[in-house]
Structure 1
Amino acid sequence: MTHGLPEDVAAVLDLVLSADEPVHVALRRQVPRLGVQSRCRCGCGTAYFALDTDRVEPAPTGPGTVVAADVQLLTETGECPGEVLVFAQGGYLSWLEVCSWSNDVEVNLASVRRWLQLPRDFADRG
């Protein structure tokens, strides 16, 4: 999606902001100008963004901080060990948060990518 972001962050943003709804479309347009200001030190992959807001248009999210995208994670076995959230402030990408709800399953950007690429009907297979 962009050359300025680490590949793992860019790939997850691409997967999470893939809907053709107006907010996601507008936020995807910001990604080429996006950089990572800092990352969580625990290894989860959470990233806080730097963005020159004078060079991009805001997404239609409203004036405050909002969850612009929220995806629950499902493993190959149908377990839900966490979620990924994309936050926007005033219509601009602000941070990507990786949340873990499990002590047994490691949740990080590598696992998020794998789980988000699974077919969504895998739980129905017998």
Structure 2
Amino acid sequence: MLESLPADVVFVLAALLDEADPAHAVLRRQIPHLRVSGRCTCGCGTACFELDTASVESAPSGRGTVVAAEVRIYLEDGDCPGEVLVFAENGYLSWLEVCSWSDTVDVTLATAQQSLRR
């Protein structure tokens, strides 16, 4: 079942995709056209996207699947328990992944938002 793009996903995508980068600028223009086609069941916030590629321009991000953007997540104490990656496939946003490197900290999209707001 497809769902509208949640605000937390929109925030993180916008924060990671730099308007000054030509490929990122094209990917940012795809955000309003994205729908969530699936979410990770562990609660981390990872989301897979569906996009009508006929309705948007493809970004010059390369063929195949590439990491279009990434950022490490830092806690207030300076610890870095994970990262967030944005993937593009053939120039189209395909998924947002929240990766945890910690056994003691729950790394989620909310954690990423807090880190990006600092």
TM-score (norm 1): 0.88
| Structure 1 residue 18 displacement after superposition | 3.2
Query: Aligned ranges for residues 32-71 of structure 1 at < 5 Å?
Result: 32-71=32-71
Query: Tell me, what secondary structure is at the counterpart of 2:9?
Result: helix
* 1:23 pairs with 2:37: no
Which consecutive unaligned segments of at least 5 residues does structure 2 have?
none
Query: Tell me, what secondary structure is at the counterpart of 1:94?
Result: strand
Between the two proteins, the alignment pairs up a number of residues equal to 115
1:30-86: CA deviation from partner (whole Å, max 9, x where unpaired): 001000000000000000000000000001011110000011111111111000000
* 1:88 pairs with 2:88: yes
State the 4+ residue runs in structure 1 displaced beyond 6 angstroms: none
* Residue type of the alignment partner of 1:49: F
Indicate the residue corresponding to 1:74 in structure 2: 74
d(CA) in 2 for partners of 1:18, 1:98: 19
d(CA) in 2 for partners of 1:23, 1:43: 30
| Structure 1 residue 19 displacement after superposition | 4.5
d(CA) in 2 for partners of 1:75, 1:18: 22
Indicate the structure (1 or 2) with the bigger Cα radius of gyration: 1
d(CA) in 1 for partners of 2:30, 2:19: 15
Which consecutive unaligned segments of at least 5 residues does structure 1 have?
119-126
